[in-house]
Amino acid sequence: MFQRVEKTRKYLREYLAQSPYFAKNPGQFSYRYQHSLRVAAIGARIARADGLDEEALTLGCLLHDISYGREFVTQEDWLNHGRESARIARPWLLDLGLAPAKVEEICYGIAIHVDDEADFAGEKTVLAGLIGDCDNIDRFDVYRVYELLEVNGFSQKETGEQLAWLEAVLPPVRQYRELAMSSPAATAMWRDRLDFQVNFYERLYRQLSGPSEEWPDERQEKQSEEQPEKD
Ligand SMILES: [Fe+2]
Ligand SMILES: [Fe+2]
């Protein structure tokens, strides 16, 4: 198993390195490559916990974003990147010697991971559904919190704007937390990621809402007000 996974990791690295966009943006290259490795590690862990085909899920997760090796020009190109990744992955997986039915199951999962749509017939089995789930488990981890704050210029906002922004962000995050993934271990990992986000944003909101304790000076003033006046 390890040999085919390791061969695929090298293939992915070389394929992504061809991208003219990544050549100009090395930070983006390393994010995409490391994201693919993290998604594969999540897939392996879930497959072991839930008794699924670890090699198949790891391979599918490794290859789910391989089409990033070709530059996306339009938004539609990006929307099609799951289906495009499946086209690239299929001959590679067949060459590795995997059973054709297994290759189709993996490719179906890769194809649907962006918008739940494939351009060929297939079934969303537990394994196929898990490829997109593992992707989301990584996408909704702590880096996303940092990235969202940075992209939205959070630190440049006034406190009132920051609070309004957090009030808008929290409800969807709380809703996402309730989504069920395709297997029990995936749902547990998903909840762990989303619980962190909810907790972080709630604490940030409380911190920015003002001091939770009274000012020492105010306490002293109150005490002195309460003391009966001496003659
Ligand atoms: Fe993707
Ligand atoms: Fe991804």
Statement to judge: residues 120 and 148 lie in one domain: no
Per-residue pLDDT reduced to its tens digit, 92-145: 999 999 999 999 999 999 999 999 999 999 999 999 999 999 999 999 999 999
Give pLDDT, residue 227. 62
Cα–Cα distance between 127 and 56 in angstroms, integer?
8
DSSP 3-state of 228: coil
Domain that holds residue 188: 142-208
Statement to judge: residues 73 and 168 lie in one domain: no
Cα–Cα distance between 149 and 157 in angstroms, integer?
11
- 165 CA → ligand 2 middle, Å: 26
**Residue 92: which of 108, 103, 105 has the closest Cα?**
103
| Length, in residues, of the chain | 231
Residue 89 lies in a domain: yes
- 186 CA → ligand 1 middle, Å: 17
Question: How much is the mean pLDDT over the chain?
Answer: 93
What residue type is assigned to position 67 of the chain? S
Cα–Cα distance between 165 and 230 in angstroms, integer?
51
Which residues have C-beta under 5 Å from ligand 2, the single-atom ion?
65, 135
Q: Does position 224 have pLDDT exceeding 60, yes or no?
A: yes
Statement to judge: residues 82 and 156 lie in one domain: no
Question: Counting ligands in written order, which one lies closest to the CA of residue 135?
Answer: 2
Cα–Cα distance between 166 and 151 in angstroms, integer?
14
Statement to judge: residues 94 and 146 lie in one domain: no
Statement to judge: residues 107 and 146 lie in one domain: no
Statement to judge: residues 107 and 12 lie in one domain: yes
- 158 CA → ligand 2 middle, Å: 33
Q: Which residues contact 23 (CB under 8 A, 6 or more apart)?
A: 17, 29
Structural domains of the chain, count: 2
Statement to judge: residues 77 and 184 lie in one domain: no
Give pLDDT, residue 36. 98
Q: Which of 61, 90, 124 is the last residue of a domain?
A: 124
Question: Counting ligands in written order, which one lies closest to the CA of residue 67?
Answer: 1
Per-residue pLDDT reduced to its tens digit, 149-207: 999 999 999 999 999 999 999 999 999 999 999 999 999 999 999 999 999 999 999 99
User: Does pTM top 0.85 for this prediction?
Assistant: yes
